[in-house]
Amino acid sequence: MAELSDTLFYVALGVYVLAMVAYFFAMAFTRVTVDGVLSSTAAGTRAGRVGTVLALFGLTTHLGSSVLRGLETGRIPLGNMFEYSSVIALLAVAGGLFVVQARWGHVHLMGFVLAGATLMMGSGWLLFVPAGPLVPALESYWFNIHVTAMVGSAAIFMLAFLATALYLARDTAERRVAARSGQRFGAGTVGAASVDVGDGRDAVTADSVVASPLELRRALSPGWFVALPAILLGLYGSQGGARGVVGAAAVGGALGGWAWYAMPHLPSAGELDTLAYRITAFAMPIYTFGVICGAIWAEEAWGRYWGWDPKETGAFFTWVLYAAYLHARATYGWRGRRAAWVGITAYVALLVTYFVVNLVVVGLHSYAT
Amino acid sequence: MIPGPWETVVIAWRRLQRMSTALILLFSLAIASVVATFIPQEPLVPETVAQWRTGAAGPGSDVARVLDGAGMFDVFASWWFATLTALLLISLTGCLLPRYRAFIRTVRRQPVAGRNLTRLSNTTTLTTHADPNAALTAVDAVLARRRLRRRRLAAEETASGHAQIAAEGGHWREGGNLLFHTAFYVLLIGVAVAQLFGFTGQINVVEGTTFTDTRIVYGNIRAGRWFGIDDHRGFQVRLDDFDVTYHGSGVPDDFISTVTILDEGEVAREGSTIRVNHPLRYDGMKLFQLRFGMAPRVIVRAGDTVLFDDSVMLGDNGGVWTGTAKVKTSGPDQIALDLALLPDFGLDARGRPISRSPSADNPVLFADLWVGDLGLERPIDASRFIRDGEPVAGVSLVPGGTSDPLVGNLTVEFAELPMWSGFQVSHAPGRWTMLVGSTLLLIGLVSSLYSYRRRVWAEAWRDDDGTTRVVIAGVALQRKVAFAEAFAALADEARADLTTSDARPARETTMSDAHHG
């Protein structure tokens, strides 16, 4: 059963990559008209459908993998970083498919969700641990509630991060296009989507800003879009030697280039910003609940609810940064890009808490292997 | 012009009240905790901090001195972290006080009359045969079901000259927000109570022995200022039994201590178990299972004289349990034993002794005997006695076995193999305060994020053609998309209700420009 679970994991990973490619084709075969309306060719529609079917198939396989691991070990499959990463990816894909794509209709974001999920799965795969039992400290129902909430919120925060990152890119593009067409901006509100209409109020006139959708692509340098993710992921891959660097950089560059190409297809900056906020606002109570459950469990297991263990500290600073994001969204002069950068920082903090604190800093929560 | 002292205070207070100040303080708090994640913290890893200080590890002793000066080795107890927290709390108070006042005022105020209803972002016009008063009553019932606060206005009170219902809801947004922020004070009280009145200590006990809850028996003590020596309960805990089971991989599956608690000579609890995640509560104290180990009972005799008879608590050293016994600490010929225990003795492929499993299936005790000037009279850890040259003798023993007479007439006996169990004993008041605080925090967070301020108005009047026109309109201050959906549902319900009170269906025109939200 453990072997089947592992096989299903690899199948899901492969199918996600294929689905990602299909979504990319669906986008490439979709034209964006002058007023920002998307119209797919027959091939594009078909590719989109193939992508959706593949993503659903991958999701089912992935779910099977996690369930089998749970049955094999007789516990919820969240006992080590491999299982943890896998379930984060699983929930992110599910959220992407059923909420972002089906409910909100943002088909062209789904490919990015799959990219995030496969990266998460890939890094989990590097930390592969065969199915095994838990140490006694983890055998508690509070543990189940705690990790479920943590994994759930981590997956949702991943979606929020994608929306935030794409918002920053799209917003830059919209601003540049608007600057070229000589329009003035309102003071510090969401994105270039709000243009100063002259009487001191910000009017949301996204359509008027976008003179030509292709302008949005031309406004940004593809070089940076390829180079930056390539460097970042390359650094991450450096643990795997020269091949790791090249492979990871190639993946990063391809994803960055795709983001650049997708610029006209993305929802407007204003929409992306709202999306990011809504998703973060949804994740935040779950995350808070998870941290509280963690404290209760720590009280049961170790006799103190909070001890500034590195992991607890990391969870705290992630929480503080997300709280700062929510506050920034409500603060004049911080809304828009500044708030978005806070959101990006918060997600980086989450990743650091997850990866670096688990693998590098030794504490009570270090049970990666 | 340089501001005077009073002006300075006012300026500082105003600045602290600003949201952007609060944001910067939050960032500083985040940065502080990043620092605490990557620089070893003394309360958690004192050994590592000691190594950093001597320069044996970390960036060197000079850097460590600078870090020490800035309190970086104990960030959460440092003066600047306390200052930061205090500033944040002052800022919070400054933000909250005016908002409490405004909130109470808003909650008390009656819903305001609406004007130009058809020009609001969500409006619906219905036509019905019911008379205007009855139609408004029907709409009122719909609004009541949504638990909106309503106010009925007579025709003279409105701008349009029609009778109106003004309704309002969503005070939970600001209420939740205030609750969320107020919860921090509750949490702070909980932390303070725990700090001042709490106690935590650790103790290791061998099977069959008893300890009494007094200050002197514990190690790693953290006692609050107002938890005095007299506050210990003085009950006795006897470790009757300790059991550990292992998974095949050698990871402990479960370890259970069975204890008896004696209070003033009487048995208060019998056969109580303490396991990881299942602490034992007694008289305001909580006993947690922390660690465990093997404690072989070793008897050293000189001829027929018993020099030493005790269980020695050994620590796990990668599958081998090791420890030291101080046998004779006075005089020039001091005696000490270095002990190593293999729980499941076996030989590996090259004939070297190994432990085949972690459970004590075939225990063998190796004892190195040291005799001479070992420096045992010094107040240092037993394991750090002076080892010059080689031990005078080395023996290996199975349980019940006694060695042949060694130097002089010394014999070493491995009498039996009990276990020892390590407990943490805590008194943690303020836990319930913390739980209440965090629950309030969560409730406040959810309602501040999901609830939204909204106003709905309904007007009804008799039109020239003899039918009654009902206009329902609404605006939301937040979550406009969600409100547009809720408003459509409300309009549907009102139309259905007006239809049942009237034979003919009410006609409807709905307008919504909610997507501009």
pLDDT over 60 at B148, yes or no = yes
The predicted structure's pLDDT at residue A212 = 66
Of A140, A308, A317, the CB nearest to B30: A317
In whole angstroms, what is the distance from residue B487 CA to residue B476 CA? 10
Which single residue is written with the structure tokens 């006990």?
B205
pLDDT score, position A338: 92
Instruction: Using CB atoms, pick whichever of A137, A300, A313 lies closest to residue B279.
Output: A300
Report B:59-78 residues touching A (Cβ under 8 A): 75-76
B33: chain A residues, CB-CB within 8 Å: 313-314, 316-317, 320
CB contact under 8 A, A204 and B431: no
Best A141, A304, A347 member to test B by mutation, with max B CBs in 10 Å, is A304
Helices A141-180, A241-261: inter-axial angle, 10-degree rounding: 60
The interface residues of chain A toward chain B in range 76-105, judged by CB-CB distance below 8 A, are none
Asked if the Cβ–Cβ distance from A303 to B428 is below 8 Å, we say yes
From chain B, the residues in CB contact with A308 under 8 A are 36, 41, 43-44, 75-76
Of all residues in chain B, what percent carry a pLDDT higher than 70? 96
How many Å apart are CA B34 and CA B40, to the nearest integer? 11
Query: Quick check: B42 pLDDT over 60?
Result: yes
**Residue A64 pLDDT > 80:** yes
| Residue numbers in A near B34 (CB within 8 A) | 317, 349
What dihedral angle (degrees, nearest 10) is formed by the CA atoms of B497, B500, B502, B504? Answer: 100
Q: Residue B510 pLDDT more than 80?
A: no
The C-alpha atoms of residue B359 and residue B319 are separated, in whole angstroms, by 10
Residue of higher predicted confidence among A277 and B330: A277
pLDDT band, very low/low/confident/very high, at A341 (cuts 50, 70, 90):
very high
Three-state SS at B43: coil
pLDDT, mean of residues B460-480: 89
Q: Which residue has the higher pLDDT, A33 or B156?
A: B156
* Residue B514 pLDDT greater than 80, yes or no: no
- pLDDT single digits (tens) A281-291: 999 999 999 99
Q: Nearest chain B Cα to A313, which residue?
A: B33
Q: What are the CA-CA distances from residue A36 to residues A31, A33, B204, B506 (Å)?
A: 9, 5, 71, 39
Interface with A, mutate which of B177, B277, B426 (most A CBs under 10 A): B277
d(CA A104, CA B415): 74
Range in A186-190, A203-207, B365-369 the model is least confident about: A186-190
Contact A156, A283 (CB under 8 A): yes
Please give the pLDDT value at position A305. 85
How far apart, in whole angstroms, are the C-alpha atoms of residue A124 and residue A88?
Answer: 10
Q: Which residue from B289, B246, B248 is spatially nearest to A140, judged by alpha carbons?
A: B289
Distance (Å) of CA B97 to CA A137, B22, B94, B101: 44, 15, 6, 7
Distance from CA of A320 to the nearest CA of B (A): 6
Is residue A362 very low, low, confident or very high in pLDDT (cuts 50, 70, 90)?
A: low
Chain A residue closest in CA terms to B481: A274
B188 touches chain A (CB under 8 A): no
pLDDT at site B240: 95
- pLDDT score recorded for residue A193: 43
Cα of first residue to Cα of last residue in chain A, in angstroms, is 21
Q: What mean pLDDT comes out for the span B107-124?
A: 90
Return mean pLDDT, chain A. Answer: 84
Residues 337-366, chain A, touching B (beta carbon < 8 A): 349, 357, 361-363
A326-340, B239-253, B450-464, B492-506: which range is least confident on average?
B492-506
pLDDT band at A73 (very low <50, low <70, confident <90, very high): confident
Q: What's the mean pLDDT in B61-70?
A: 86
* Contact flag A328-B22 (C-beta cutoff 8 Å): no
Is B502 a residue whose pLDDT tops 70? no
| Highest mean pLDDT pick, A64-73, A206-215, B75-84 | A64-73
- Nearest C-alpha of chain B: how many angstroms from A324? 6
Residue B169 φ/ψ, nearest 5 degrees: -155, 175
| pLDDT for res A137 | 65
Among A133, A309, A310, whose Cβ lies nearest the Cβ of B253?
Answer: A133
A22-to-A39, A47, B141, B447, B483 alpha-carbon distances in Å: 17, 5, 52, 40, 36
pLDDT value for B169? 92
Tell me what the mean pLDDT of segment A165-191 comes to: 71
Residue B179 confidence (pLDDT)? 96
Q: What's the confidence (pLDDT) of residue B332?
A: 76
Rounded distance between C-alpha atoms, residue B128 and residue B140, angstroms: 15
Overall average pLDDT of the B145-154 stretch: 92
The mean-pLDDT minimum among A80-94, A209-223, B102-116, B237-251 falls in A209-223
pLDDT of residue B38: 80
Selecting from A299, A333, A349 the residue whose C-beta is nearest the C-beta of B431 gives: A299
Q: For the residues B373-390, what does the mean pLDDT come to?
A: 78
Nearest to A292 among B26, B76, B442 (CB): B442
* Residues in B touching A314 (Cβ below 8 Å): 33, 37
- Beta bridge partners of residue B280, listed in sequence order: B287
Contact B33 A317 (CB under 8 A): yes
- Structural tokens at position A179: 């600057």
Q: What is the mean pLDDT of residues A119-142?
A: 79
Residue B247 has its nearest CB partner, among A133, A313, A314, at A133
Tokens 């199918």 correspond to A15
Top residue of B31, B37, B44 to mutate, by most chain A CBs within 10 Å, is: B37
User: Cβ-count burial of B384 within 10 angstroms (0-12 exposed, 13-18 middle, 19+ buried)?
Assistant: exposed
Which residues of chain B are within 8 Å of residue A330 when distances are taken between CB atoms?
19
CA distance B203 to B238: 12
Task: Grade residue A183 by pLDDT with cuts at 50, 70 and 90.
Answer: low
pLDDT > 90 fraction of chain B, expressed in percent and rounded: 43
Q: Give the closest of B38, B41, B434 to A308, CB-based.
A: B41
Distances (CA, A) of A26 to A41, A117, A265, B43: 9, 19, 11, 56
Examine the pLDDT at B258 and tell me if it is beyond 90: yes
Show residues of chain B in contact with A321, CB under 8 Å: 26-27, 30
Decide if B307 touches A, using CB distance below 8 A: no
What ipTM was reported for this prediction? Answer: 0.85
The nearest alpha carbon in chain A to B245 belongs to: A136
CA B289 and chain centroid, separation: 18
Over the stretch A75-100, which tens digit does the pLDDT of each residue have? 888 888 899 999 999 999 999 999 99
Judged against a pLDDT cut of 70, whether residue B1 lies above it is answered with no
d(CA B285, CA A303): 11
Is A324's CB within 8 Å of B30's CB?
Answer: yes
The least confident of B114-128, B235-249, B401-415, B497-511 is B497-511
Q: Choose the weakest-confidence range: A214-223, B37-46, B373-382.
A: B373-382
Confidence at B4, pLDDT banded by 50, 70, 90: confident
Local confidence band at A40 (pLDDT 50, 70, 90 cut-offs): confident
Tens of pLDDT, residue by residue over A257-276, are 999 999 988 988 888 998 99
The beta-carbon neighbor of B44 closest among A292, A309, A349 is A309
Whole-number pLDDT of residue A36 = 65
Taking 70 as the threshold, does the pLDDT of residue B66 lie above it? yes
